[in-house]
Amino acid sequence: MPQNSIEMSFLNKLFGSGNTSQSTKPEAAGTSATNLVSFGRYTDINKNKNQLAHWKKSNDLFKEKDYLGSYEAFFTYLRDDKVDNVNFKREGDKVTFEITQGSKVVKGQGDKERFYAEANIVIMEDHSMPVMRKLMNLNYAPLRYSKFALNGDVLVLKFSSHSLDASPGKLYDALKELCKKADQQDDLLMQEFSSLKEIDTDSIIAYPPEIQEAKYEYLIGMIHKVKEEIAKHDANQMSGGIAFLLLNLTYEIDYLISPQGKLTDALERIQQMFFAKNDLSTKERNVQIMDEYEKIMAWPKKQVLEGLYDVKATFALANAANHKTVMDFMFKEREKVKWYRDNNYPQMVDAVYSYMVSYAFFNYGMVYPVCNLLNVVMAVRNPDYYEKCGSTVRFSNDGQLDGTKISKEINAIVSAARKDYPQIAINTGALNYAGFSNFVDSLVLQMDKLNLTKA
């Protein structure tokens, strides 16, 4: 793809095309009053009425044993027109399809007898024992529907079913497993085994060099910043606050950089380390996590940059969550701020409030108005990074918040969302712009009152 086309594609994804429905990001495109860029990973929670109607149609046709019609309706449900993530067509007595998930494209077909889907993962010219052993272990991993196999020199991940068993619910679960696992394993296998070669990576969307560099600088700079802050505190007395610093760092990196491959795997491993059910103390978990970040900083820059690219997606990494679940989490974490505030630890207070937002992005699939509002929080906290990535407005300078600009942005988000959520409203007059933590606290209180009843 020519460089100018790459840059235009990236900018279109950041700013959208004036449409207020779902975009490649978890927020809606075209809702910004100020060309505020947005980040994060794809969420599939924002299905429109047409998609939902086709889900019902797919189930009805399956019950009538009209399998081809059921497949067509199913892929209409799955397809996001603005992302162009699913393509299919009916050809006589079969339906062929392609599904894009990250760096991989899953291809297959369904007819009256069988349904089949397959993704090429890597080329393996040398069938070495270490690689074969790894693949055997992967097949014994918790894969419910798909399995790894060799097709000549190509490692593939595949799923098949008799059509009479291929209900829409089963297809959704099976294709979600296949797509997400295929997207994950190509990078990880390539990094673990140098003999493997990449295949079918045309779906990758390269960032413009300046954006890629901004992401790398943010990654390294934020790790250093957190290290410096941790060094100011007693590791025992402040283990809880340090945990907030480290976990927020993990989730902010995932949202703002949205890395692929090895770095994504490292971030997931860090989260699992902290929440693992074992006998380690919080201090010991913090040490483990900081060791992981030391390893990341030691990676060659070229290796990090290889995982910084944009992608289309069909299935979300985070499971869909209703608004009450998100708000319940935030109010629970909000209670943990008091001690840090009363004992004059402002950096820890800000870290807790930032963690509330970044954790939500990492763990919950949220509807687009909520994502857009929380993106404003991230922009307030990271003004330099947003500016480097193309934002034409700063909501904060040296810790001073611009309430007028923030209110304008929030009002634009709410106004645009009324097409789908006609009763949504926020009282921007009740927001507190005296510092980051006060702003987030007041915004969470207002977001708890959101009426997200759909039109």
pLDDT at 9: 42
Report the alpha-carbon distance of residue 58 to residue 53 in Å, rounded.
9
Element (H, E) at 158: strand 154-162
pLDDT at 98: 97
Report the alpha-carbon distance of residue 235 to residue 230 in Å, rounded.
8
pLDDT at 26: 40
User: Taking the domains of the chain in order of start, what are their residue ranges?
Assistant: 49-198, 209-447
End-to-end CA distance of the chain: 40
Nearest to 88 by CA among 165, 175, 164: 175
CB 20 within 8 A of CB 48: no
State phi, psi for 98 to the nearest 5 degrees: -135, 130
Report the alpha-carbon distance of residue 185 to residue 168 in Å, rounded.
25
CB 440 within 8 A of CB 356: yes
| Highest CATH level, class, for 49-198 | alpha beta
- For residue 443, count other CB atoms closer than 10 A to its CB: 25
Residues 271, 134, 300, 1, Cα dihedral to 10°: -100
pLDDT at 34: 61
Bridge partners (DSSP) listed for residue 91: 94
pLDDT at 125: 86
Bridge partners (DSSP) listed for residue 397: 400
Report the alpha-carbon distance of residue 66 to residue 64 in Å, rounded.
5
Segment 170-176 long-range contacts (CB within 8 Å, at least 24 positions apart): 170/145, 171/74, 171/115, 172/74, 172/78, 173/144, 173/145, 174/117, 174/144, 174/145, 174/146, 175/78, 175/99, 175/106, 175/117, 175/314, 175/315, 176/315
pLDDT at 35: 79
Please state at what angle helix 368-381 crosses helix 239-257, rounded to 10 degrees: 110
pLDDT tens, the chain, 455 aa long: 334 433 434 444 443 433 333 333 444 444 565 678 989 999 888 999 999 999 999 999 999 999 999 999 999 999 999 889 999 999 999 999 999 999 899 999 999 999 999 999 999 888 778 888 888 888 777 789 999 998 989 999 999 999 999 999 999 999 999 999 999 888 788 878 888 888 887 888 899 999 999 999 999 999 999 999 999 999 999 999 999 999 999 999 999 999 988 898 899 899 999 999 899 999 999 999 999 999 999 999 998 998 899 999 999 988 899 999 999 999 999 999 999 999 999 999 999 999 999 999 999 999 999 999 999 999 999 999 999 999 988 999 988 999 999 999 999 999 999 999 999 999 999 999 999 999 999 999 999 999 999 98
Report the alpha-carbon distance of residue 403 to residue 433 in Å, rounded.
6
CB 279 within 8 A of CB 231: no
Report the alpha-carbon distance of residue 42 to residue 23 in Å, rounded.
8
